[in-house]
Every structure is written in C-alpha cells, then in structure tokens.
Chain A
Amino acid sequence: AQSVTQPDIHITVSEGASLELRCNYSYGATPYLFWYVQSPGQGLQLLLKYFSGDTLVQGIKGFEAEFKRSQSSFNLRKPSVHWSDAAEYFCAVGDTNAGKSTFGDGTTLTVKP
C-alpha cells in the first residue's frame, strides 16, 4: 500500500531564510507526487506536482520540489520565505491504478519576522 511520511511536524524559519520540507513516500511503481498548502480555515491548494520527466518541478508562489527515486523523496524548497507562506503543507502520492491520493500528516510552517 502507498504511504507518505513527513518527518517534521512543525518547522519555524525566519522571513527571508530558505526552506526545505521533507517528504518520503512508499509506492511500488513510479508515483504521481503532489505538494498542497492549506491556510487556516481553507481547503488544500495545489503547489506543484510531479508525474514524469524533469525531476525538478516548479510550482506556484516560488516553490520547487525535487523527485529523487533513489531516496524515495520529494522535498519541497523555497529560497526565501515570506510571512504569507505560514501554513500547513501536505505531501501526497497518487495511485496510478486506483486513482486515489494518500496524504502525509502535514508540516506546519511558522515564519518569524
């Protein structure tokens, strides 16, 4: 069965600092991978996705993620964090056969002024 692990429950960074959120997945074939962001009281919004091809994918709001098959990882990065990036971030893996997505437990990002 597919699974996603986000090792960091909570991360605090200073505004302007770089950010990396970790995601490890378990899936038998080439996965479809996603990062979503959730602001308080809102639904989840897609940041970026990986299906195939270039392993470094660009998303909205200046985020990028790199797929590393050897490490079963899909870490999210941003070179300079803004206060508005404070939110909860979810990594997800999509089942290419069944079509359903499994989500990690999320990482809450706090941005210090």
Chain B
Amino acid sequence: DAGVIQSPRHEVTEMGQEVTLRCKPISGHNSLFWYRQTMMRGLELLIYFNNNVPIDDSGMPEDRFSAKMPNASFSTLKIQPSEPRDSAVYFCASRPQGVGELFFGEGSRLTVL
C-alpha cells in the first residue's frame, strides 16, 4: 500500500515567492496533519483536518500560511510570501478514524533564500 505522499521533496525559493506543498494521505484515513520541523523548535503541529474540515489551526504561524483540503485525497500548505525563517522540513501525516498513531510522509524540505 502507498504511504503518505508529499511533494516536492525539496524546494529552494527566494524570499517573497509563493510556496505550495502538497500531500496525498493514505486512502481511507480520516484525519490529516501538517507539522513543521526545525532544529530550534522541534516538531510543531501547524493544522489538522478531520473529514476534510480544519479542526485546529492554532499552530499556523501567521496569515502568510494557509492550508486547504478540498477532498479526502489531497491537501496543500501554502506560504505567501515566503521568508527565510520559514525554512524547515514540513511533514504531512494521516490517521484512520480515532486517536491512533500517525502515518508520516517523507517530508518537504523548504529553503527560503
């Protein structure tokens, strides 16, 4: 079975540019999470969805960040405009119904110059 698929795996962009990260969760999973990992702040939950509906976006750093889940098989995390401090690895994870473990993608490494 395919796991969580993220794209792109690596993105290098310049400050001020728009960045879109994509995630395809595991089929049948009801919950989707976006995390950001940095050396300084560790693994931070940005936002999560249940049944395509955003439940908690309190971790989204500021208005430059937005996330959507138009259907059960696709989600995007957008940063506009990007800044150097947004450089991090962004992980998408999905989970079946309930409170079990998360299944992580391999991450998207973002570098903003």
Contacts and interface: CB of A to CB of B under 8 A. Distances in A.
B105 A106 contact: no
A40 B99 CA distance: 27
A103 B93 CA distance: 13
Interface residues of A, number: 23
Contacts of B50: 99
B47 to A, nearest CB: 10
Nearest to A47: B101
B104 A32 contact: no
Contacts of B102: 44, 46, 101
Contacts, number: 53
Contacts of B48: 99-100
Contacts of A49: 100-101
B: interface residue count bin: 20 to 34
B99 to A, nearest CB: 5
A7 B26 CA distance: 33
Interface stretch (A18-26, A69-77, A90-98): A90-98
Given A100-B56, A106-B42, A41 B99 contact: no
A94 B99 contact: yes
Contacts of B95: 99
A102 B100 CA distance: 13
B107 interface: yes
Interface in B4-24: 4
Interface of A: 32, 34, 36, 41-46, 49, 90, 94-96, 98-106
Interface of B: 4, 31, 33, 42-43, 45, 48, 50, 55-56, 91, 93, 95, 98-107
